Amino acid sequence: MSAPLRPEIIRSFHDRPFSTPVIGVTGGKGGVGKTTVAVNLAAALVDLGHRVALVDCDVDAPNGAILLSLPLKEPVSVNVTQPIFDAAKCTDCNACVEACRLHSLFRPREKTILLMGECNGCEACFLVCPAEAISRGDRSVGTTYKTVSGKLTVFTGALHPGLEESALVVTALKKRAFDEAEQFDIILVDTSPGTHCNVIEALKGSDSVIAVTEPTPLGRHDLDRILSLLEMFEVKRSIFINRADLPGNIQEIKKTADLHETLIETGLRLDDQLLKSYVRGIPVVQLYPQSLAAMTFTNVAGNISREYLQ
């Protein structure tokens, strides 16, 4: 376990300027069904009469809208600052080249600065240039979308292929959704897999987080990591065991839950009707409302509704 975070860091993580409850859906391992859980919980909460925002923060591979058969609408470009160099003003001091932490600036000849690599928009070169020879341009690194379907609003972020600035797209997406937070009864945030900065950014402001896992050695290992992260930020959390009847040792998942003092919210066995709904792009709670999977999601949604919306 890492050293405890300073109190001001934890306060900053939990701070948000609105009262609408935020529930995160995450999990260290990829492919455990985070988005399936998030989409079906969103649909179940809508069926309970709530106005729901689903924020798909897996910007490298967003598929929440696909699982809902919804088109991506209302695109807004996510731009970062890109330097433009004025050779007439340049004093050839080379300060901008030295300041670039990504080593993306190159001086091939006198008073000529070229951007040869990726620029993350940190603007260090602007700050160190004594001659004000650098002006601000911009470039698009991704896009955010907003799609409304009845009481469900899906916010989606998509990083342009081949780029590295996924954190900037996550930040822009969260801001777009949170700026409209008061229009919703509840916000669900679906994160990317892992425990990296994008996951932390996506989970900022969450009242509670559902960690999705499966009863496999990899599932247990990555569950331990995501629960450790949530402990660091003092986030209320629970566990959703997907594909609970996979060959493996579910007792190891329970040991990990006990180690981190985390409640196992529910478990869901493999379900053919869930698979069929996944293929058709319709939440199982809508396509097969009497199925075991649908009732599981409906029960969890009911628990969330009773705790945060009544």
Question: 100, 132, 164 — which closes off a domain?
Answer: 132
Chain segment 46-62, per-residue pLDDT in tens:
999 999 999 999 999 99
Chain segment 105-126, per-residue pLDDT in tens:
999 999 899 998 778 888 999 9
Rounded CA-CA distance 105/100 in Å is: 7
pLDDT at 218 over 60: yes
pLDDT at 2: 63
Mark whether 157 and 280 lie in a shared domain: yes
Is the distance from CB of 27 to CB of 223 less than 8 angstroms?
Answer: yes
Question: Is 118 among the domain residues?
Answer: yes
pLDDT at 247: 85
Mark whether 106 and 221 lie in a shared domain: no
pLDDT at 84: 93
Chain segment 231-270, per-residue pLDDT in tens:
999 999 999 999 999 887 899 999 999 999 999 999 999 9
Question: Is 236 among the domain residues?
Answer: yes
Is the distance from CB of 210 to CB of 21 less than 8 angstroms?
Answer: no
Query: Domain count of the chain?
Result: 2
Q: What is the 3-state secondary structure (H, E, C) of the chain?
A: CCCCCCHHHHHHHHCCCCCCCEEEEECCCCCCCHHHHHHHHHHHHHHCCCCEEEEECCCCCCCHHHHCCCCCCCCEEEEEEEEEECCCCCCCCCHHHHHCCCCCEEEEECCEEEECCCCCCCCHHHHHCCCCCEEEEEEEEEEEEEEEECCEEEEEEEECCCCCCHHHHHHHHHHHHHCCHHHCCEEEEECCCCCCHHHHHHHCCCCEEEEEECCCHHHHHHHHHHHHHHHHCCCEEEEEEECCCCCCCHHHHHHHHHHCCCEEEEEECCCHHHHHHHHHCCCHHHHCCCCHHHHHHHHHHHHHHHHHCC
Rounded CA-CA distance 20/188 in Å is: 11
Question: 132, 163, 196 — which closes off a domain?
Answer: 132
Maximum distance among all Cα pairs of the chain, rounded to whole angstroms: 73
What is the domain range of residue 244? 7-77+141-308
Between 138 and 178, where is the model more confident?
178
pLDDT at 236: 97
Q: In what order do the strands lie in the sheet with 76-85?
A: 76-85, 134-149, 152-159, 52-56, 186-190, 22-26, 208-213, 236-242, 263-268
Mark whether 117 and 208 lie in a shared domain: no
Mark whether 104 and 173 lie in a shared domain: no
Rounded CA-CA distance 65/190 in Å is: 12
Mark whether 217 and 123 lie in a shared domain: no
| Mean pLDDT score across all residues of the chain | 94
Question: Is 156 among the domain residues?
Answer: yes
Whole-structure pTM value: 0.91
CATH of the domain at 120: 3.30.70
Chain segment 140-170, per-residue pLDDT in tens:
999 999 999 999 999 999 999 988 889 999 9
Mark whether 199 and 282 lie in a shared domain: yes
Question: Residue 114 corresponds to which tokens in the numbers above?
Answer: 């070229």
CA distances to 19, 203, 206, 256, 271 from 234, in Å = 19, 12, 11, 17, 34
Mark whether 182 and 242 lie in a shared domain: yes
Question: Is 71 among the domain residues?
Answer: yes
Torsion of Cα atoms, 189 then 194 then 196 then 202, to 10°: 0
Close Cβ partners of 233 (under 8 Å, ≥ 6 residues apart): 5, 10, 13, 14, 200, 203
pLDDT band of residue 283 (cuts 50, 70, 90) is very high
